[in-house]
Structure 1
């Protein structure tokens, strides 16, 4: 497992918080963490868990995967794929089935081009929950 790069994570969180025009206290309240704890994360003094990162991402309206990359939980080389997947999943103009189909197409292009897909399991797990078109059996 990668080591946490807490300093860069803190700087990134502070930048995202400022872009969202939230005070430290507002973000802490929205994420359900204490103000001092969030301050320590931003200053690079604390290593938040994946669960806390997820809460912060939700409060900031950004993908949790982006914070995982910043924290070193996900490899940097996977960042482009993570961001692409997050953008597809966050798009409000397409429905869930369309998102899953688009992700499957994206993964097939990555395989065709020799790029090892790291999130293929995520796509296959959720694809089973999706309705199937006629002839997919």
Structure 2
């Protein structure tokens, strides 16, 4: 069932890309050259047969002079419901120090945390860690003593 959703997302991405390319009066070959991807690969993206990476989408967006964020949303990388505009996701996607696999892993972990917090928020309105403060226990902090390079633990 999830595969059908991905196919539908990619298909709508492909339709959107083709629409933008035709509107920009670019041939498939011209856009492929400008985006730095192969002509067959771009064709497969437009036909919904391939799901491009965030990096490829960014290159295509630059060549088309359109918002990369819109392509990320259409590709299912970003959610339009992110409220803040997906600033965490955009930061991950724009980080040149990460590989595409690392970016996708971080996005998956972040999405799972959001889903977990949404589920927890529905069950309990108490912030995490508030139980300890309510019982009178102080948080434990660990600091590094700059003079000795030893860790100092404060309890209370």
- Taking structure 1 as the reference length, the TM-score comes to 0.56
Distance 1:44 1:62 in 2: 20
Equivalent residue for 1:55, pick from 42, 59, 70: 59
SS class of match (1:69)? helix
Equivalent pairs counted in the alignment come to 84
Question: What are the ranges of 5 or more consecutive residues in structure 2 without an aligned counterpart?
Answer: 92-156
| Residue 117 (str. 1) matches residue 84 (str. 2) | yes
Kindly indicate whether structure 1 or structure 2 has the higher relative contact order, using CA contacts under 8 Å at least 6 residues apart: 1
Deviations 1:45-89 (A, max 9, x none): 0010000000000000001101001101111334xxxxxxxxxxx
Bigger fraction of residues in strand: 2
Matches within 5 A, 1:59-78: 59-78=63-82
| Residue 39 (str. 1) matches residue 43 (str. 2) | yes
Contact 2:15–2:47 (CA under 8 A) maintained in structure 1? yes
Question: What are the ranges of 5 or more consecutive residues in structure 1 without an aligned counterpart?
Answer: 79-115, 124-137
Give the C-alpha shift of residue 120 in structure 1. 5.5
Matches within 5 A, 1:2-21: 4=6, 5-21=9-25
- Taking structure 2 as the reference length, the TM-score comes to 0.49
Matches within 5 A, 1:73-88: 73-78=77-82
Distance 1:18 1:70 in 2: 18
Question: Which one has a bigger Cα radius of gyration?
Answer: 2
Give the C-alpha shift of residue 119 in structure 1. 4.3
Tell me how large the CA RMSD over aligned residues is.
2.0
SS class of match (2:51)? coil
**CA 1:120–1:56 in structure 2 vs 1: closer, same or farther (change >3 Å)?**
closer
SS class of match (1:77)? coil
Distance 1:69 1:8 in 2: 11
